[in-house]
Amino acid sequence: MSMNVVEKIDDLVKVKHVLVSVSDKRGLDAFIPGLKEINPDIRIFSTGGTFGRIKEILGDNADSCLTQVSDYTGQPETQGGLVKTLDFKIYLGLLTETYNDSHQDDLKRTEGVPIDMVAVNLYPFKETISKEGVTVEQARGNIDIGGPCMIRASAKNCIRVASVVDPSDYSMILDEMNKNNGSTTLDLRFRLACKAFYHTAVYDRTIADFLKDRSYDEVKGCYET
């Protein structure tokens, strides 16, 4: 398989479509209205509890810009939210390249859109394993799958997509977008990508270290009846 080589990109990318799925909802009450103020036509995709929180924040304005990911993909969430964002249409939107005709044809074929920004943070694995008496099963249930995938996909495609993992960056991102008429710069996207890959690396290292220190008897004991 030949590797696709990108030869043309845009420094400034207008943020028109944003995917938001966060465990840590701090800062959304300023970030979401800020995005909408910068671009009144912005479209926000979201899931589960994040969708509900954004709907509360936007109030009467929610219906005009907020869409459930399941409504966008046509695939309902599985029980307990096990599978929400692992969908071809989502990853096409994250990984598509502006000047790749085949990618643009795929977007048209699926009625998809390019996603310009992802705001994602992960299930609280570290907080879970810090609790007294936590079991392997409790820890396992807090291993995020869709979140790291979206973070990595958006960070990989930092030539077009902003990958946002830290709520403390929200105000800085809004300031940068205000300076650039609602767009992100390649410099900003690259800096966010570096932070995103570090974020997922630390997350995976924490999981690996926890599991490494568990015994087979501990694992087996969680499921014996």
Q: Which one-letter DSSP state was computed for residue 120?
A: E
Give 3-30 pLDDT, tens digit per residue.
778 989 999 999 999 999 999 999 999 9
* pLDDT band, very low/low/confident/very high, at 225 (cuts 50, 70, 90): low
Instruction: Express each pLDDT in 175-194 by its tens digit.
Output: 999 999 999 999 999 999 99
In a domain, 176, yes or no: yes
Q: What whole-number distance in Å separates Cα of residue 49 and Cα of residue 59?
A: 15
Separation of alpha carbons 3 and 187, rounded Å: 24
Q: Which is nearest to 220 in space by CA: 110, 157, 163, 135? A: 135
- Give the whole-angstrom CA distance, residue 47 versus residue 151: 15
Q: Whose CA is closest to 146, among 73, 91, 202, 84?
A: 84
Closest CA to 57 of 81, 72, 37: 37
Q: Report if residue 40 sits inside a domain.
A: yes
Residue 2 lies in a domain: no
Q: Is residue 35 within 8 Å of residue 174, measured between CB atoms?
A: yes
Is residue 117 domain-resident? yes
pLDDT score at 129? 81
In this prediction, residue 130 has a pLDDT band, given cuts at 50, 70 and 90, of: confident
Predicted confidence at residue 93, as pLDDT, reads 97
- Tell which wins on pLDDT, 52 or 219: 52
Give the DSSP H/E element, type plus range, for residue 14: strand 13-14
- Does 137 have pLDDT greater than 70? yes
Q: How many domains does the chain have?
A: 1
Confidence of residue 132 (pLDDT cuts 50, 70, 90): confident
Residue 6 belongs to a domain: no
> Given this model, what pLDDT does residue 80 score?
57
At residue 131 the predicted structure's pLDDT band, cuts being 50, 70 and 90, is confident
Check residue 57 and give its pLDDT.
98
The pLDDT, as a whole number, for residue 195 is 97
Reported pTM: 0.91
List helix spans (H) across the chain. 28-38, 48-58, 62-65, 69-73, 88-95, 101-110, 125-129, 136-141, 146-156, 170-179, 186-212, 216-221
CATH code: domain of residue 192: 3.40.50.1380
Residue 73 lies in a domain: yes
State the pLDDT at residue 188.
Answer: 98
Q: Could you tell me the residue range of the domain that residue 101 belongs to? A: 13-221
Matching residue, tokens 């465990």: 23
Per the CB < 8 A criterion, the answer to whether 15 and 117 are in contact is yes
| Residue 207 clears pLDDT 70, i.e. is over it | yes
7 falls within a domain: no
